[in-house]
Structure 1
Amino acid sequence: MSTPAITCETTPEPKRPGASRVGLIVPSSNTTMETELPELFRRQAEATGHKYTFHSARAGMKKVTKEELLAMVGKAAQCAEAVSDADVDVIAYACLVAVMAQGPEAHEGSEQVIADAAAGNGHPAPVTSSAGALVRTLQEIGAQKVAMITPYMKPLTQMVVDYIEGSGITVLDAISLEVADNLEVGCLDPQNLPALARSLKREGADAVVLSACVQMPSLAAVQAVEDELGLPVITAATATTYEILKALGHTPAITGAGSLLSGAGILTPANA
């Protein structure tokens, strides 16, 4: 008896109505972006009926040092080609500090490199980056002064501060948890974030950046901190989600992740 021939796919499965493909470029040691974003989009799908799938490419990075971050940046185009093979509808470059370590407004160049690589591979798609998304989202909600928490060593946190301030936003305070190993960053307990947020110098702040890092878990704490502090609470992950939805032309309808993604309008600070 002959064995039936196995047919292998040589092209992506045709896109289906009511579904979108999200491409992610992540550090090889990242464990959080591919858990928080699918959970956020699960809530979006629950509210709207639209479905989302995720398709990732990984770039080598273990230690959160400037050298490893710059090496990762050099792999962005190759990763973009790989993820675009899935004919994704949008691409998110999910490593905030790797971009910010290159200097002010580096997200613009990084996003263009990725867009060009995807287009050159025959699958053009809109591109966002966690670095660009955080800056643009803060600008969009009118945040002129912020306080933030990062897992980085202090020199890298200062780079993030400089980058954000280079976009015209004042950083009133920044807490550095000083965790260099990226896997360890992914194991940080988000339930510690409310106490850290309380300790920030927030007088005059327009928003709190609860996690200026896509690898530091924060989703479980976003709504609680926003409710307690009465300030808009943004994270690298929620800002990236916001821009992915915008790129797809979808209105946010996500519960329990802060006013940014609720679709009900951004929370107005009590001191505004």
Structure 2
Amino acid sequence: MYGWRARIGLIVPSSNTTMEPEFWKMAPEGVSIYTARMNLTDVTEEALIKMEVYARDAAKRLADAEVNIIMYGCTSGSLVKGKGYDKQISQELEKHSGIKTITTSTAVLGRV
């Protein structure tokens, strides 16, 4: 059975084509990846900020799949409003989904 060890919810921009394959490649046996997408075709500051709205809906849908954790997979999108925005996004998505959420920039900064 897929995800017997853990289920990871991954939220990525709709134009991202690398993160899903990378997560599947790195996932150990028994860990499955479930992906939801946020609209993003033109990478602008405004579009990156607007993704937060799409991320809320994506987090709710991933909660339906009973994932154990959610990864907000857009580094630029989690830094666009400056220091601490990564934590703000995590808190917002946790509020909407009820599931622990981290961002790529939080992971890179080692503040998980």
The answer, yes or no, to whether TM exceeds 0.5 is: yes
Structure with max Cα Rg: 1
The unaligned stretches of length 5 or more in structure 2 are: none
Q: Which residue identity is paired with 2:5?
A: A
SS at match of 1:74: helix
The unaligned stretches of length 5 or more in structure 1 are: 1-14, 46-50, 120-124, 138-242, 244-272
Q: Report the TM-score, using the length of structure 2 for normalisation.
A: 0.90
1:17 and 1:107 map into 2 onto residues whose CA distance is 27
1:126 and 1:69 map into 2 onto residues whose CA distance is 22
SS at match of 1:131: helix
User: Which residue number in structure 1 is paired with residue 48 of structure 2?
Assistant: 69
User: Which residue number in structure 1 is paired with residue 38 of structure 2?
Assistant: 59
Indicate if the aligned counterparts of 2:3 and 2:31 stay in contact, CA closer than 8 A. no
Name the CA shift for 1:16/1:25 in 2 (closer, same or farther; >3 Å): closer
**Residue 22 (str. 1) matches residue 8 (str. 2):** yes
Indicate if the aligned counterparts of 1:95 and 1:130 stay in contact, CA closer than 8 A. yes
2:108 and 2:21 map into 1 onto residues whose CA distance is 19
Q: Which residue identity is paired with 1:28?
A: S
Residue 89 (structure 2) aligned to one of 92, 102, 110: 110
RMSD (Å), alpha carbons: 1.9
Displacement of 1:17 in angstroms is: 8.2
2:64 and 2:92 map into 1 onto residues whose CA distance is 16
Q: Which residue identity is paired with 1:92?
A: M
Displacement of 1:71 in angstroms is: 1.2
* Identity within the alignment, %: 29
- Of structures 1 and 2, the one with the larger relative CO (CA 8 A, separation 6+) is 2
Q: How many residues align structurally? A: 112
Indicate if the aligned counterparts of 1:77 and 1:114 stay in contact, CA closer than 8 A. yes
Residue 85 (structure 1) aligned to one of 54, 58, 64: 64
Displacement of 1:18 in angstroms is: 4.0
Name the CA shift for 1:16/1:40 in 2 (closer, same or farther; >3 Å): closer
1:57 and 1:116 map into 2 onto residues whose CA distance is 17
Name the CA shift for 1:64/1:126 in 2 (closer, same or farther; >3 Å): same
